[in-house]
Amino acid sequence: MMGQVAVLSWEGGVGLDSDVARLRRGDPQALEVLLSRYQHRLYRYLLRLVREPALAEDLFQQTWLRVAERIRRYDPSRNFDAWLFSVARNLAIDHLRRYRPESLDEPVAGDPSGETKQSRLAAEGPTALDRLLEQERAGLVATTLADLPVMYREILSLRFEEEMKLEEIAGVLDIPLSTVKTRLRRGLDGMKRKIELRSRSDWGLA
Amino acid sequence: MTEHESIRELLALAAAGALDEGEQRMLDKHLASCAACSAELDAWRGLAVSLKRLPTPQAPPMLVERTRSRVALEMAAVGERRKSQWVMAFLVLFSWTVTLVTWPIVRLLTGGLLSWLDLGFNQTWFGLAGYTALGWLTAGVAGAVLALRRRREGRLA
């Protein structure tokens, strides 16, 4: 079984490498394959970053145009996923910086959710979270994720949805590994606190 | 900070699979004797699973189609630009080669006339400079005509 998985993933990697190499030579068929392969993942990542479908669509298109323009500068020894997502991220962050700079504001250290100390204290206690997670309220998790600042939304999406390694995330975000870990922990912490808070109010415990 | 407190700091990262070997060993050792941390780790893992299971928003098919055609056009344009660069490089090389190779012939044919003008040592360099300038002027006009044509084609596309 393990052997089969290894062979499949090796074939996937080889296939991807050859598609990327063909794209570098300007083969439109390769573009077709890569677009199909990444369409939903890339769109999801952009949607997590900017939260507006129309804007995510615009950035999706811009990302692939940028890929076509810069593919010859792509270093094949680098992970293509990380390169592609960093192209998308740079475009999204540039847009946010230009049109919604307030959305990039770094929250106060140790308080990534932007909540008050009072609300955090009110949310202490594992029972509400347990109850919530047991019921798998995915809608609430999605809403809570969307409520986090962009730096935590993107890192949680890359780690849990894209299942990227920490080193790959560091490459996409162009930050040191230690910062990846810090943001990951703060992002999860913010999620937990918000979920607990919402869960309490949903259950009339606020 | 007690060991229990420092381990609690690691629980979220443990659920995210982001601990290094040393931290993981420390955590495993602590979990064997701490039910509270085990329970909290389960809660973090539940959150991690919920994040992994979030439904993937689907890219609209029209968007993918639109992107495909726009990028294909861009790729064709990039290919065209690259081809033009090669053609231009070839033309430059060709111009220099033709200029240098044909210069002795021109000198031979016009030598009589130039020697009659008695320009002395400088005549060779004046002649070569004039001949080269003429070649480049022709190439410049050809380049300008090509650029104008391309701009017109771009407007029509």
List the pLDDT tens digit at each of the 157 positions of chain B: 677 888 888 999 999 999 999 999 999 999 888 899 999 999 999 899 989 988 888 999 999 999 999 998 888 887 788 787 888 888 778 877 877 777 777 767 766 555 555 555 456 677 777 777 877 787 778 778 877 877 777 665 5
Q: Is A190 in contact with A183 (CB distance < 8 Å)? A: no
Q: Are B51 and A161 in contact (CB < 8 Å)? A: yes
Contacts 24+ apart (CB under 8 A), B72-78: B72/A28, B72/A31, B74/A65, B74/A68, B74/A69, B75/A26, B75/A28, B75/A31, B75/A68, B78/A26, B78/A68, B78/A69
Contact: A129, B46; criterion CB under 8 Å: yes
pTM for the structure as a whole = 0.71
ipTM over 0.85: no
Tell me, what's the pLDDT at A35? 92
Torsion of Cα atoms, A43 then A48 then A50 then A52, to 10°: 70
* Band of pLDDT at residue A205, cut at 50, 70 and 90: very low
Residue B124: per-residue pLDDT: 67
- Report the C-alpha gap between B56 and A42 in whole angstroms: 10
pLDDT tens-digit series, residues B68-107: 999 988 888 877 887 878 888 887 788 778 777 777 777 6
Instruction: With CB atoms and an 8 Å threshold, state whether A35 touches B47.
Output: no
Q: Select from A32, A43, A161 the Cβ nearest to the Cβ of B54.
A: A161
CA A31 to CA A54: how far, in whole Å?
A: 23
Question: How far lies B155's CA from each of A206, B71, B76, B151, in Å?
Answer: 64, 19, 16, 6
Mutant choice from B11, B75, B82 vs A, greatest count of A C-beta within 10 A:
B75
Q: In chain B, which residue's Cα lies nearest the Cα of A184?
A: B13
Provide CB contacts within 8 A for B47, sequence distance 6+.
A129, A133, A141, A188, A191, A192, A195, B15
What mean pLDDT is reported for chain A? 79
Residue type, A171: G
Helix (H) or strand (E) holding B34: none
Which string of b and e fits B68-106 if b means at least 16 CB within 10 Å?
A: beebeebbeebeeeeeeeeeeeeeeeebeeebeeebeee
Contacts of residues B117-123 at CB distance under 8 Å and 24 or more positions apart, as own/partner, are none
pLDDT, residue A203, reads 47
Residue that the structure tokens 């202490």 belong to: A124
How far is Cα A38 from Cα B88, in angstroms, rounded to an integer? 37
Q: What is the pLDDT of residue A204?
A: 47
If we measure between CA atoms, which residue out of A153, A172, A10 comes closest to residue A80?
A: A172
pLDDT confidence of residue A113: 42
Burial of A49 by CB count in 10 Å (0-12 exposed, 13-18 middle, 19+ buried)? Answer: buried
Q: Do B47 and A192 touch (CB under 8 A)?
A: yes
Collapsing DSSP states into helix, strand and coil, what is residue B157?
coil
Q: What is the pLDDT of residue A2?
A: 42
DSSP A97: H
CB contact under 8 A, A31 and B46: no
Minimal Cα–Cα distance from B130 to chain A, Å?
A: 41
Q: Per the CB < 8 Å rule, is A31 touching B12?
A: no
Residue with the bigger pLDDT between A143 and A43: it is A43
CA A133/CA A118 separation, integer angstroms:
24
pLDDT recorded at residue B157: 54
How many other C-beta atoms can be found within 10 angstroms of the C-beta atom of residue A132? Answer: 25
Q: Could you tell me if B130 lies within 8 Å of chain A, comparing CB atoms? A: no
Mean pLDDT of A126-148: 71
pLDDT given for residue B154 in this prediction: 65
Does B3 lie at the interface with A, CB-CB under 8 angstroms? no
Query: B44: buried, middle or exposed (CB in 10 Å: 19+, 13-18, 0-12)?
Result: buried
User: Helices B61-117 and A53-70 meet at what angle, rounded to 10?
Assistant: 30
Q: Which of A61, A67, A126 sits opposite B39 (nearest CB)?
A: A126
Predicted confidence at residue A3, as pLDDT, reads: 45
Mutate to test the interface with B, among A23, A46, A133, A155 (most CBs of B within 10 A): A133
Closest CA of chain B from A81, distance in Å = 17
Contact B63 A60 (CB under 8 A): yes
With CA atoms as reference, the chain A residue closest to B49 would be A160
Of all residues in chain A, what percent carry a pLDDT higher than 90? 48
Mutate to test the interface with B, among A64, A135, A193 (most CBs of B within 10 A): A64
Answer yes or no: is pLDDT of A161 > 90: yes
The 10s digit of each residue's pLDDT in A7-45 is 444 445 557 778 888 888 888 888 889 999 999 999 999
Residue A56 to residue A52: CA distance in whole angstroms: 6
pLDDT digits (tens, 9 = 90+) for A37-61: 999 999 999 999 999 999 999 999 9
Would residue A106 be called left, alpha or beta, if left means φ above 0 and alpha means ψ between -120 and 50 degrees? beta
CA distance A11 to A2: 14
Nearest CB partner across the interface for B53, out of A138, A166, A181: A138
What proportion of chain B, given as a percentage, has pLDDT over 90?
A: 29
